[in-house]
Amino acid sequence: MNIDLTGKTALVTGSTQGIGLAIATGLARAGARVGVNGRNPERVEKAAAEVGGIPVVGDVVEGADEVLKALPDVDILVNNFGVFESRPALEITDGEWRRYFEANVLSAVRLTRAYLPGMKKRGWGRIQYIASDSAVVTPEEMIHYGMSKTALLAVSRGFAKEAAGTGVTVNSVIAGPTHTGGVEDFVYSLVSRDLPWDEAQREFMRRHRPHSLIQRLIEPEEIANMVTYLSSRQASATTGGALRVDGGYVDAILP
């Protein structure tokens, strides 16, 4: 399959590291002009140089004005930015519930609201939300995070209906447990820090993600492969979906 995104402009939020950086790299390799986004100018410049993309410095949670000024129109929007941490359920405060909704959900809604009209007018566009297995299998150690990712599935399906018949597709990607720097810290918060990484990863999967069929963490590039495909003309009939790159973790035929 020859995926060619030449002539398309993409924005990947939160793309200076981890899954976002892998997605930006995948889209750029397919020929897209990619906006690499983050809040720290130095990190954004470094990541953009690595990807061969455009540095887009701006906070997507605090209004996203800088982002929209840098990239007034895009053909591909990947809402990747998100926050997560473990917290006992009864200790999650009202402020934390609001923070997770605003960061993980409302930031994506705001950008969709800004970019979708232009995509509809041009008759082509791709919008994606990076969700999580936690959207379907709510983790007891971070239900505020799971709630926000479940909300993204509803947001994605709803905006797909708004874009019906326009040539714009809207999908969510359910990413399974993925190997990133932040996840390494999270893994070590749940298992002994005295373990070498390979052993810590196996112990984490055994104790906390036992339903994974690949029995390992997913690499960011594996998520990026799905996103790159969904961004292509070949994926023109795939919309309103929640597509899984979860290593078989979700024990269901459908999400």
Spell 120-152 as b/e; 16+ CB within 10 A means b: beeebbbbbbbbbbbbbbbeebbbbbbbbbbbb
100 flagged as catalytic: no
In sequence order, the 6+-apart residues with CB closer than 8 A to the CB of 53 are 24, 28, 33, 34, 35, 36, 47
Is 171:156 a contact under the CB 8 Å cutoff? yes
Tell me the two tokens of residue 157: 């399906």
Selecting among 145, 188, 229, 249, the annotated active-site residue is: 145
Q: Which residues does the annotation mark as catalytic?
A: 145
